[in-house]
Structures are given as structure tokens and as C-alpha cells.
Structure 1
Amino acid sequence: MTFYQECLGGTLRLTQLRDTPMKDMFPPEKHGRIINAYLKSEAIEISATDWMASPDFEPVLGNTFALFVTGETHDELKTIFDKLRDGEHNSRLQELHEMPFGIYGQFYDRYGIQWIFRGARKE
């Protein structure tokens, strides 16, 4: 999340299991888990977690989530798109481009997280 904070700005708040009343319900090795990461700037809000209460759940790329960024202009989206992409080559990259419904682009970042961008259609 600190990488996303560097790209997007804003204030990052991390809540670990050890800082909640629930900590006594779980073994000490889980107390360092982030149950909520919250990033807020003037333009965006993102919440995330590495909390998996079920010991049977195994995260696999593709079964977790994608993050969506919505903006108005191509330039506004392009600035964020390029920072998050971090210059990495990505075979699943779709540069920002015009679609019938508006501006669209996507990529997977250095952590394997899928980002989908959508902007207003040019009139």
C-alpha cells in the first residue's frame, strides 16, 4: 500500500489484528495481519486487506480482486496509469484508448494486482 500511496498521494491508515479486540480469538502468528488498509486522497479512496480468516483459503493470482480507477480526462488517467504501471513491461497491458463507452485501459502492477481504468467518453 505504501507504493500506491507514493503514486496516488494521500493518507494511509493501517489496522493490524493486534490492534483490535478480536486479537484474542486468533493465534499470535496472525496478529501482524492487516485487517484494513485505507488510503484516502482528494481524488481517491482505496481499502484493502491481507486478512483471511479461513485457514483453507489460498490466494492465487486471479481469485483475489481488481482495482478500478475512474476519471474524467485522458491526461488525468494517464498520469496515474503511468505511475502505477511503474514502467514494467506487461504482456497483459492495454494502454489507455477510446472505446465506445469511454476511455479504457488495464494492466497488472508489480504485485500482480489488476488495475482497470475508465474515463468519460470524448464528446
Structure 2
Amino acid sequence: MKLSTYLLFDGSCKPAMEYYASVLGGELNIYLVGESPMKDMFPESMHHLVVNSTIVSDSFKLSASDFLRTSEEFVQGNNLSLYIDSGSAEDIKKIYSRLTEDAQITDPLAEHPFGLFGALQDKFGVCWKFHAVL
């Protein structure tokens, strides 16, 4: 299991991650909403947005996406999360469950086309994202 940083952008994820990759190095991967198995869950006007991107090197991993919640407003300050990735589904479920005490659940832990995913804001206001490949 790995703990890394997850950034959210208001439509500028692609140029931001391209910039960070040029500064930091590492391998950049960008996946657009319109290229994902979830594209039908979003209006076509959002297909150019980034559903997930990563920069990976031997020393770090930086993950990011555009803010895709159509029912909420992007607020500067909620754009940084701690990201637990690549653990076993059991480990992810255990840690997620422990952090739900007095938390605001933003994404219930559930299976998606890309794996097990969930997100919450813990009782101290820290945003967490969880992912495990199934």
C-alpha cells in the first residue's frame, strides 16, 4: 500500500500535470473522461476533462484529476487529498472504515470499472481518497 498526494483542478488538470512532469520528471499518464469506461456517466461537455492522471518516478507518485462533481462547486482549498492506492481491497476497507468515524463521506467505498474507490473528509477536515485494483 502507498500513501501519496492527490490534487484536484477546476478544468486545468492536463496543463498542470504536463507542467509538473516537465519540472519534476517522471512518467506522465493522463486519462480523459471521454476515453474512460465511465464516459456515459458524464455529459459530453465534460469529456475533455481529466478523470485521472499520474506522474510516477522512482521517488514519488503524484495523482490528479479535474473536479467532476456536477452537483458541487469547486472550492480552492479542497483540492488536496491524501491518497491511499494499490493496497489490497481488505486493507483499503479496513482503513476507510476506521476513518469514517465522524467523517463526511463524499464517495462511499464501492466497486467501479477502475477498481474499489471511496473518498471522505475525516473529522479533522482532511480529505482522503482510497483505491484498490480488484
User: TM-score normalised to the size of structure 1?
Assistant: 0.48
